[in-house]
Chain A
Amino acid sequence: QSVLTQPPSASGTPGQRVTISCSGSTSNIGSYYIYWYQQLPGTAPKLLIYRNNQRPSGVPDRFSGSKSGTSASLAVSGLRSEDEADYYCSAWDDSLSAWVFGGGTKLTVL
């Protein structure tokens, strides 16, 4: 059971906007930045969003992140087939003195 809670799956059709939620507590999301990683099938995870809502160079602006209190969300707009992947939220947890991840959300483009 993951410390951060994500829906196991999400889906949308090409061009649609999809959001993925991530719920935590005051010891993690409530106190620290949230990060999002994308893992395409058969590849290593890739940083998608850092410090709640910042995109690394090369990440399309179709991806956006937000945080409020102990929850966060990742939005993908203009959905494309290449967005099919597993998405993970992550934050430092003070109570555990460890990095924690959500269980991952499998995004399917219908």
Chain B
Amino acid sequence: QVQLVQSGAEVKKPGASVKVSCKASGYTFTSYYIHWVRRAPGQGLEWMGLINPSADSTTYAQKFQGRVTMTRDTSARTVYMELSSLRSEDTAVFYCARSLAARSHFDYWGQGTLVTVSS
């Protein structure tokens, strides 16, 4: 069965970086895009960007340009999302999700990773 399993919770200080992983199983890794979506406390869902594991190409939301980097390791079937220059407003649960095409729906989601930014 399709599964996206994310790394565990993180606590970071302001100004630091965090790298969250998303390990895929149950499908052909390079056939689906992986998106990253976050939900801050009391807020709604916010799309951060996507990676095409086949082409190793990325598209980032303008808000996160320059601060986010999405990479993949095809041998490990894993996608990574690194967010730098963290501030308290980045405290959120981060989700990975897959789609068949860049503009197609997110049919499976990871369980989420809580990142807390606090001094």
Determine the distance from Cα of A35 to Cα of B61 in the docked complex, in whole angstroms. Answer: 19
Is there contact, CB below 8 Å, between A99 and B47? yes
| Chain B residues, CB < 8 A from A99 | 35, 47
Contact with B along A75-94 (1 / 0, CB 8 A): 00000000000101010100
Is there contact, CB below 8 Å, between B110 and A45? no
Counting residue pairs across A and B whose Cβ atoms lie within 8 Å, the total is 50
CB-CB under 8 A for A45 and B105, given A97-B59, A98-B61, A99-B35: no
Determine the distance from Cα of A22 to Cα of B109 in the docked complex, in whole angstroms. Answer: 22
CB-CB under 8 A for A101 and B105, given A44-B110, A45-B95, A96-B62: no
Q: Which of B46, B105, B112 has the most chain A CB atoms inside 10 A of its CB? A: B105
Is there contact, CB below 8 Å, between A45 and B109? yes
Pick the residue among A32, A86, A96, A103 that contacts B103 (CB under 8 A). A32
| Chain B residues, CB < 8 A from A24 | none
Determine the distance from Cα of A51 to Cα of B105 in the docked complex, in whole angstroms. Answer: 8
Pick the residue among A47, A98, A104 that contacts B44 (CB under 8 A). A104
Is there contact, CB below 8 Å, between A101 and B47? yes
Q: Which of B35, B61, B95, B106 has the most chain A CB atoms inside 10 A of its CB? A: B106
| Chain B residues, CB < 8 A from A2 | 44
A53 to chain B, nearest CB (A): 13
Determine the distance from Cα of A103 to Cα of B112 in the docked complex, in whole angstroms. Answer: 19
Is there contact, CB below 8 Å, between B107 and A101? no
| Chain B residues, CB < 8 A from A90 | 45
| 7 tightest Cβ-Cβ pairs between the two chains A and B | A99-B47, A104-B44, A44-B109, A50-B105, A101-B45, A103-B44, A92-B103
Query: Which residues from chain B sit less than 8 Å from chain A, CB to CB?
Result: 35, 37, 39, 44-47, 59, 61-62, 95, 97, 103, 105-107, 109-112
Starting from the known contacts A96-B62, A98-B47, A101-B47, 5 additional A-B residue pairs (CB-CB under 8 Å) come to A39-B39, A45-B106, A86-B44, A88-B45, A101-B44
Can you list 17 pairs linking A and B with CB atoms under 8 Å apart? A35-B106, A37-B106, A39-B39, A45-B37, A45-B95, A45-B109, A47-B105, A47-B106, A56-B107, A86-B44, A92-B103, A96-B62, A98-B61, A99-B47, A100-B47, A104-B44, A104-B45
